[in-house]
Amino acid sequence: MPTEPAGRRPLKTREWPFFKNLAARLARGGATPNAISFASIVCGCCAGAALAATAHFDGWLLRARWLGAAVSIQLRLIANLLDGMVAVEGRKGGPTGDLWNEAPDRVSDAAIFIGAGCATGSAPVLGFAAALVAVFVAYVRALGASVGAGQCFLGPMAKPQRMALMTGVCVITAAAPVYPTAIGEQPLPAVAIALWIVIVGGIFTAWRRLAFIADFLRKKSNP
Range of the domain at 100: 12-221
**Angle of the 159-175 helix axis to the 124-146 helix axis, nearest 10:** 160
pLDDT, one tens digit per residue, over 46-103 is 999 999 999 999 999 999 999 999 999 999 999 999 999 999 888 888 888 888 889 9
1 occurs within a structural domain: no
pLDDT, one tens digit per residue, over 20-33 is 999 999 999 999 99
6 occurs within a structural domain: no
- Total tally of structural domains belonging to the chain: 1
pTM of the model: 0.93
182: domain CATH number is: 1.20.120.1760
5 occurs within a structural domain: no
CB proximity list for 137: less than 8 A, separation 6 or greater: 157, 158, 202, 205, 206, 209
Q: pLDDT at residue 5 above 50?
A: no
The Cα 162–Cα 156 span in angstroms is 9
7 occurs within a structural domain: no
